[in-house]
Structure 1
């Protein structure tokens, strides 16, 4: 970290002075990603017209600061307008404009881009998909600079948890999510995450590193697999190839941050590198009481430019985190600590990969990736027995050490077979290596008669397995109104030698120029979480992996959607869906347990052994979105999700899923004002209001818990009780100052999170010290702040 800061400061020499901005980028064919030389690009702030060069590149200099519209057109393609491009003095704007070839004989067709900007980058994602930008992460209130929290604003997603950023899609467990970075599946990209989970309190993804990306909530295209609920397909942006640019900032949740980018290899390529150090714990905003969380991350993306061998990029992210909860600092209201325990938590996450792309012809390219990624977490706990009594003694209680690594290789060919016909086919290979161990006294008997629960090995396993996923998908635009998408995804799981074929299909029909109807279907498979699959059972004194042969869980998605443009800057969208889940892992004896319920906490069950694939689940609902895209100085977003998520264990009873909030409503709005004599500075106001039904939970059996000394739940009435509804209001104001002399910009913001200080319940749990069931609330009112300097 020290070396990075030294490098960053050494690059500050020679920063240019300017009162104007720069807008540049590339115009490409959307299907082939081939540059379009000779395309016409105009901006709304003047009469300037630029023709793209032989590389499809364009550049506008001396652009007035503020927001503008950019339009690109090319003969035989539909013109595209990108609205509200934010031009600042501190950073050049770099865009990639993708044009779609028309199927008519018209030379030019004008398309209003405002509703289209939320369409996914992936050409094959026709339903339940949305594109998002870094600007949205930084603009919306309550986001904490966390990309996972951004998508909680979208229809179909619920979090209702201030302490974790798990993504719950349409009532599915968060373990059903697929995280991808640069086309590579990755572990949970979070600080303080545990192996097998997909969320945590703090994200390790720096939003300043992220380019426009996709979020898909069901029936995803054939190239995605090993997921049941949704896909988070992230892209890293590339650095500026022409000039050096820097960012320095500080905020409550992103922490202290530095970023640098600029030309690399004589301007043939670029570099982008960023580092952050968390400070939320020092400000009291982590919800961890007296314990101070330590977390930091470093990310980079090196673009080696385009040569005869193609385009090569090298990228990576590394995150470190640790925290100590000491019993002497705890009280009964703490979320994570207790007065009779000392706990130490350490977590690491990393991914590093190489991407290669080469054009095989003007209509075909090959893209390949190889990556190494992994996560590791350790949890050490000492338990203080007979607290505050003369015989007080401290003993080791739990040591949990889990490591998960994977090597990933992928390659696909993207080919435009004819006008309006795109074929993409490829294969993804993943090799997983795991090393899990858990030794604990939790819920153990006192076989040795020393007066304390025995310190037993719950599981200790090392293992390897492979997942191979070939796929092929075709998009066929029969006309400018009708588009068909179809594909087949293969899934091979080496532990059980299963081979699955997963059909995917979607159709989109443009009823009018401003409305469209779509339908999608997809079959998907995913193995149960690895901590469950490799769990040990003590059989005659020998630890045996009795869950090892659990087969893949299956899911079928059906989605029907309708979208209507309400004006140049308004759109409305509605989707109805049904999802059927089969072959979930359940116990052999009749119980309420199902692997569908895993993922609601920081870890997994440790006593679920000899499981079988007999469980089921069903999710159904309707989602509505009304959106006002940013124009005329304001934006608004209203989303409503109304759903029912149920599951059935081996007892044959349909029960509420723990993720069945039943409804989630979000309302976001913001206003931006131009201020100052030159009208080049802005003052912004944003708000977010969220309300949702409470999660269902299993009540505690107080009498049994008091007798045992640890929490025992009434599993025969699992998830029969519901927490009170969740409510939160966040307000944010920001000021952006564009320097009139120096090429720099300042951004200052203040955010009041949970401004009403509403008590949202985190958990109702048995307290072994008070012998009662106590409610613990989530983080209350907290003022967040931030300052960024771009130069």
Structure 2
């Protein structure tokens, strides 16, 4: 696509939004209703009599009722809300967007004071407050609205979070999250207290990411992301935790949304079941737009292959009584794509996953559903029961195409069906304002139907790598105490335990953190934790053969383990400006490596659709990640915001040959600068916004192509044993620009614009491949400029 066509398609949505004044149906209103609830941050007990005010304005205040609910009429715009109550520390909810098309809903959590003194002024806790009050270090708030506001995020939570310090995406075409040099496999996804597998379309069993997220920003609530040394309630993870919450539908008014963007055509509805209760529903459906984008000339990185997918997300929220609340929720959908070798565009490098001598046929389905029962036993005790089911299917066929006749020969078949059935119960008890205890137990049953076959010589010979129909279970339990010695000094200490029934592997994991508030709105924190994670099922069930009989040499593999230390310093320089620095060290052990001396390690796997399947692995590998993360953040104030993050780090490992090497995720440095500004064209009724993101990273390490093996084989072969990850790739640089706007009508809001990813059309290296025609190694690059128009209409 030529540059003129790109910019015309970029400007067209803005022209439609801002200059088509015939869309104005009536005089716009000046206010909108903001509703919400005030709760205790430990026990979730409703707090009545709390005062809610709009910060820095003379707007009227509201009081929460005996059940913690409040409503407040606020002019259109973006505000911070301050909540205060005698006996509790003041709290601020920043950057709340109030539009005509949707009522804003807030959940405000207050922390009880350890002492109550008259005539003492306590400064408001500003900034982005985490949901989990047990998190002391490495925690970041995920705001779903930011996926629409930040350049380059294209509505995807995983892509948005990569702008935070210490975090990167594995590639432009996927959203795998690399946290502080850890493999994406080390990330734990959790929704409403239920641990889930890969929440992405085209989400492989051996990864935690994919090209398109199933997670819908219109269904998500404010959530927590933790980059390391996480509290005792999170287990079976090494690199980080994404603790996601789903929002409740509007319990007073029916609202709808229509949206077109990168993730799909979307329609959603929410509202009350009855005005006599607080019960509500929320439903959102999406169908892929990528095929349409490609049809009209936009390059999405898949060449002639057309991705097809759809998904549905929902939540039903039912207050059974003043003490009990029941919720049903779910998300999921199918996806498929075919890469046909005869249609692959290898000249222009537009097909990231296909090759001219290969056919790939892929079919996926992911479904996640759960039910939660929350109980306020009394003012000091809160319990939550969560039951979840996670079903994923993955089917793949691979053909090799003859270079002479272009005839296709089957070379591989795989079918991976996995089911997870989980029940979890957590109990929070507050002894007094100083001490509280959070405990819980989780039981997860896994059902596996796994098959993988490699075919040689047009079915003359075949090797079955995996053929398993089995089950196993993982039991986890934890308890964590929080004690506030003073208003300034807080200790959190806990213990996590997990055991895998497959081979009896178990781990006892102590965790602890200490936080101290210094004068001048400064905080210093330190944390330590041990963490353990089971291996991927395809690793456990990889077959080897002795006298043509299958044996399972990996089934006794234990957990991979790590020790993590974090030292954190935060300084709130102003009400909307914060500086944060964190130094960390992670020591990894019991990593699966080969029995014979080689440079292979499982620490390098998990950033794509597959992993290298090895048999005869042992838990003798090691690794280390250490570095410094810096963040300077200005939340939205005076119509602009910015986020500047920087990371300096090392990520090393040792295979069974004892040689220390760089992991493939060792960039050495990552820098992000994200900023945005709103321009008021007609007061608060008509907003034009600009968002810019610039990312720079050191190049990763890659294994060299084995040219001799590649020339005689069926695809590119890499030297993964004797000389792995010895090539330092060139640095990565990308600039994203987002232009958009928002127009408020009487009872609706129209948003639109365009997201320009890699606006400078920089050629960042994706992978090196062997070209059998040219008989040489060639570079394949990440997608060039990607133009994503979007529209969103709420009413």
8 Å Cα contact 2:181-2:651 kept in structure 1: yes
Query: What displacement does 1:410 show?
Result: 0.2
Task: Say whether 1:624 aligns with 2:647.
Answer: no
Residues 658 and 723 of structure 1: is their aligned pair in 2 closer, same or farther, counting only changes over 3 Å?
A: same
Residue of structure 2 equivalent to 1:279: 289
Within 2, Cα distance between the matches of 1:83 and 1:323? 41
> 2: distance between equivalents of 1:513 and 1:403?
55
Q: How does 1:316-395 map to 2 (within 5 A)?
A: 316-332=330-346, 333=349, 334-385=351-402, 387-389=403-405, 393-395=407-409
Tell me, in whole angstroms, the C-alpha distance in 1 between the residues paired with 2:222 and 2:665.
29
Question: Is residue 90–residue 125 contact of structure 2 (8 Å, CA) maintained in 1?
Answer: no
Q: Where does residue 539 of structure 1 map in the other structure? A: 546
1:462-499 Cα offsets, whole Å, 9 max, x none, are 22111100100000011111000000001111122123
Query: CA contact under 8 A between 2:323 and 2:377: conserved in structure 1?
Result: no
Query: Which range moves more in the overlay, 78-87 or 341-350?
Result: 78-87
Distance in 2 (alpha carbons) for counterparts of 1:301 and 1:75:
34
Q: Partner residue of 2:69?
A: 57
The answer on whether the counterparts of 2:91 and 2:126 sit within 8 Å (CA) in structure 1 is: no
- The secondary structure found in structure 1 opposite 2:162 is helix
Whole-Å Cα distance in 2 between the matches of residues 380 and 710 of structure 1?
Answer: 15
Q: Hey, what does 1:594 align to over in structure 2?
A: 601
Q: CA separation in 1, counterparts of 2:594 and 2:436?
A: 45
Instruction: Give, in angstroms, the shift of residue 709 of structure 1.
Output: 4.7
List aligned pairs for 1:36-185, cutoff 5 A.
36-44=47-55, 45-61=57-73, 63-107=74-118, 109-115=121-127, 117=128, 119-159=129-169, 161-185=171-195
- CA–CA distance in structure 1, aligned partners of residues 396 and 59 of structure 2: 62
> Which moves more between the two structures, 92-101 or 168-177?
92-101
Aligned residue in 2 for 1:704: 709
Q: Please point out which of 762, 766, 770 is paired with 1:762.
A: 766
- The answer for the alignment partner of 2:420 in structure 1 is 406
Over 3 Å counting, the alpha-carbon distance change for 1:214 and 1:774 in structure 2 is same
* Residues 205 and 416, structure 2, Cα contact 8 Å, conserved in 1: yes
Q: 1: distance between equivalents of 2:611 and 2:708?
A: 25
Aligned to 1:527: 534
CA distance in 1 between partners of 2:221 and 2:320 (Å): 19
Q: Could you tell me which residue of structure 1 aligns to residue 780 of structure 2?
A: 776
Match of 1:9 in 2: none
Write the distance in 2 (CA, Å) between the matches of 1:718 and 1:90.
54
TM-score by length of 1: 0.93
- The answer to whether structure 1 residue 188 and structure 2 residue 188 are counterparts is no
Work out the number of aligned pairs and report it.
Answer: 759
- Cα offset, 1:453, TM superposition: 6.5
Query: Could you tell me which residue of structure 1 aligns to residue 480 of structure 2?
Result: 473
State the distance in 1 between where 2:714 and 2:80 align.
65
Rounded Cα–Cα distance in structure 2 between residues aligned with 1:339 and 1:23: 56
Give 1:8's aligned residue: none
Separation in 1 of the partners of 2:623 and 2:266? 43
Match of residue 209 from structure 1? 219
What residue is the counterpart of 1:492 in the other structure? 499
**Structure 1 CA distance, aligned partners of 2:195 and 2:773?**
43
Instruction: Kindly provide the CA deviation profile for residues 622-667 of structure 1, in whole angstroms up to 9, marking residues without a partner as x.
Output: 1100111110110000000111001101000001101111111000
SS of the residue 2:218 aligns to: helix
Matched-pair contact (CA < 8 Å) for 2:300–2:786 = no
Offset from partner CA, 1:528-573 (integer Å, 9 cap, x none): 2211111111221112221111011111000011111111211101
Task: Assess if the C-alpha contact under 8 Å between 2:621 and 2:655 holds in 1.
Answer: yes
Please give the per-residue CA displacement for 1:158-181, whole angstroms capped at 9, x wherever unaligned.
Answer: 125111111001101100100000
SS in 1 for 2:671: strand
Q: CA deviation at 1:19?
A: 4.6
CA contact (8 A) 1:691 1:727 kept: yes
Shift of 1:323: 0.6
Which is worse superposed, 162-171 or 591-600? 591-600
Q: Retained in 2: the 8 A contact 1:19–1:743?
A: no
- Secondary structure at the counterpart of residue 77 of structure 1: coil
Return the match for 2:639 from 633, 638, 653. 633
* In structure 2, distance between residues paired with 1:67 and 1:647: 47
1:396 to 407, 410, 426: 410
- Once the two structures are TM-superposed, the CA of residue 86 in structure 1 deviates from its matched residue by 1.5
Matched residue SS, 1:532 = helix
TM-score by length of 2: 0.93
Matched, 1:301 2:315: yes
Matched position secondary structure for 1:149:
helix
Which of the pair has the greater relative contact order for Cα pairs under 8 Å at 6+ separation?
A: 2
- Does structure 2 retain, via aligned residues, the 8 Å contact 1:313–1:355? yes
CA contact (8 A) 1:412 1:427 kept: yes
Instruction: Please tell me whether residue 747 in structure 1 is matched to residue 754 in structure 2.
Output: no
What is the DSSP-based 3-state SS (H/G/I as helix, E as strand, rest coil) of the residue aligned with 2:612?
coil
After superposition, residues 417-432 of structure 1 pair within 5 angstroms as 417-432=431-446
Task: Report the counterpart of residue 506 of structure 1 in structure 2.
Answer: 513
- 1:553 aligns with one of 554, 557, 560: 560
2:269 is matched with which residue: 249, 260, 265?
Answer: 260
Pair 1:684-2:700 in alignment? no
| 1:713-767: CA deviation from partner (whole Å, max 9, x where unpaired) | 233111010111111001111111011xx31000012122111100011100223
Residues 710 and 337 (structure 1 numbering): CA distance in 2 closer, same or farther, change over 3 Å? Answer: closer
- Following the alignment from structure 1 to structure 2, what is the Cα–Cα distance between the partners of residues 160 and 428? 30
Match of 2:207 in 1: 197
Preserved contact between residue 286 and residue 293 of structure 1 (Cα < 8 Å): no
SS of structure 2 residue aligned to 1:134 = coil
Give 1:337 deviation, angstroms. Answer: 1.5
Partner of 2:327: 313
Match for residue 246 of structure 1 among 256, 268, 272:
256
Q: Secondary structure at the match of 2:722?
A: helix
Partner Cα separation in structure 1 for residue 214 and residue 121 of structure 2: 42
Q: CA deviation at 1:106?
A: 2.5
> SS at 2:291's partner residue?
helix
Match of 2:450 in 1: 436
Distance in 2 of aligned mates of 1:601 and 1:79: 45
Following TM superposition, by how much is the alpha carbon of 1:16 offset from its aligned partner in structure 2, in angstroms? 14
Task: Mark the runs of 5 or more structure 1 residues left unpaired by the alignment.
Answer: 1-14
Please state how far the C-alpha of 1:308 moved relative to its aligned partner. 6.4
- Counterpart in 2 of 1:725? 731
CA distance in 2, matches of 1:736, 1:778: 32
Q: CA deviation at 1:589?
A: 0.6
Deviation at 1:18, TM superposition (A): 5.1
Per-residue displacement from partner, 1:368-408 (whole Å, max 9, x unpaired)?
101111211111122222x334xx54321111111111100
Q: Give me the CA root mean square deviation.
A: 1.8
| Selected match of 1:665 from 666, 671, 682 | 671
Residue 19 (structure 2) aligns with: none
1:237 lines up with 2:244 in the alignment = no
Partners of 2:431 and 2:85 lie apart in 1 by: 20
Contact 2:170 2:176 in 1 (8 A): no
TM-aligned CA distance change 1:23 to 1:308, over 3 Å: closer
Partners of 1:81 and 1:468 lie apart in 2 by 38
Change in 2 beyond 3 A, CA 1:221/1:712: same
What's the CA shift for 1:47? 4.2
